[in-house]
Structure formats: structure tokens, C-alpha cells
Structure 1
């Protein structure tokens, strides 16, 4: 199910998602959104609405030290907080001593990160990314719409994913995050 699209535009990141809830051959258009803000971050999820609800309402985004590299922070502090949140919320899975969660995009400080089910963090060099069953269609659209406004590119990518994927449905939620750093430890005092 799902198509989540993220696009970096200067110091802003645009993110959009569809509204499909899929179970087997059944599909429900959901009122709760797959793209939301949490503590200065923009997050868009796939896999499970339960996982998304935990990321939206239970995840406590950790503060970042002023001198800490943002990628390192995402890999260490942010992922540790996500793992704890998903485990405490009854969502994290463990099989053969391997823990897994789900896939989601995170925008922060003008950058776009992908968190995979094994909790690896990635950042695409091309400045856009998509996840979910409609990802390949969305990525093709994003590659072919350079020159359009960022919001139009994200919406078009979602429309193309809906056209070709049975697990993607409008209405689409598109939001923008202006670059704002996660509060540093020294600023919180």
C-alpha cells in the first residue's frame, strides 16, 4: 500500500502521501493522514497505520547536540528513539533475534532521509525519494517533471502512482517543511 514522496527544494522539503488503507484486495480511503509534522520534522510513512500513529503521537524526537552531524544524529539518536517508541507501542517485530519496524521518510533541516524496516537511514543524492508500492511510478514522474514547481511535482508523482498502482488512492496530502533545525541541547535550557 501507499506512496510517500519527498522532494528537497533549497531549504524546504515537500512531502506528499496518498490515503489508501489496503488489506489484501480490500481498500479503504482513510481520513487520517500518512504525512504529518512532529517536533519540527515532517514524516511520511508506509507499512502500517499503527506505526504511523506511534510516530505521530508517541515519538519523542530527541534533541541534537549543537556540534553533532545531522546524519549521525539520524542514525544514532533519532533511530534509537524510533526503536523505543515502536517497541513500547507494540509495533516492532522480532524474528530470529532481528528487530524490524517499517519504512518512512523524514524531512528535517532542509534534508530528506529514508528510514527502512531494518532501521538503516539513507539520503538520496538526487534530492527526491519515494517509498511504498507506488514508489517506482512516483520516482519516474519526479525525474521527468524538473522545471515544475516542487508542489506540482509531488502532486503529479502521486497522481502517476495512483494511475498505475492499485494500492494508491487520492486524496493526497502535500505539506512543506521550511528548514528549521532540531533544537540543540544548549538552546533548550
Structure 2
């Protein structure tokens, strides 16, 4: 697919659901996160970009509202996850477009911050999109009890003037 065929399909649309097979086919672990041994929570809200020519899903981002504690105080954050771009279309700005579309929706959900978990090799991509690394360990729920998240945690301000306090983060749910 060439750039002309996706230029007009850069509209981010809500999706009822998301199946990674739409973007990756039957690849068993397209995000390469199985090696970390975590159990993941599905996303509740989905956004995608479809190719104009054939309607194929070429990019996806999902959101979930997360119950958390920040420095011991209960709060909610928006979790961004399942960011995916079809392999043949990477490097064309679709990740930025679908993430920006999802974050535009997230701003209306209330929480001041969004977070994501990513492999270290993807941190630079998210930094270019405005995400900042969270320092210190992040604890998440797992079926066997609390566990330290082995992936990089990054945060994003959803509202003007929102600044991360630097306090410890604890998810009271499976990670997204």
C-alpha cells in the first residue's frame, strides 16, 4: 500500500472491539510481551485507522480507566495500550495519529494523566510523542498477587499544567 492509499484514511475512528489478527494476521506474539510473563487486562475503548482502499484496519490504540494509588492516595489514570501499526505501513506517522486520536478522547474522561507500558526499544517512539518516563518501580496486580512491572512505564499529561509528582504508582488492576 502506498502513501496515497492511506493519506485519506488517517481519520481515527472508534471501534467496537479489536482483534490483533486484523493487523498482524496469526502472528502469535506481535507485541513481543509474552516473554515478560504478565497477565494483561483488555482495553475497554478502541480506536483505529482503516485503509481507504479496502477498509483494512492498519492502526489501533486502546484505552482503559485504571484504579491506582499515587503516593498512597487513590486516583484514576487512563491506560493506553495495544498500540499497533501494520508492519507494511510503519514509519508513516500512523502511530502518532492513532495515539493522538485516542488521547483526544481520553481528555474527556476526567483523569489528569495517561500511562502506558512499553518495551525499552519503544520508549524513544513514545518520547517523540510527548510521553515521559516514570522513575521508580510500578506495582500492578497479577493473579498471584502484586508484582513489579518489568516494562518501561511512561506518563502523559491529559490536561494543561498536569505534572507528575514523582510519587510511587500502584495499579489496583491487571496492567493494560
Fold shared, TM-score > 0.5 on shorter chain = no
Structure with the higher strand share, 1 or 2: 2
Tell me which protein shows more helix as a share of its residues: 1
Greater relative contact order (CA < 8 Å, ≥ 6 in sequence): 1
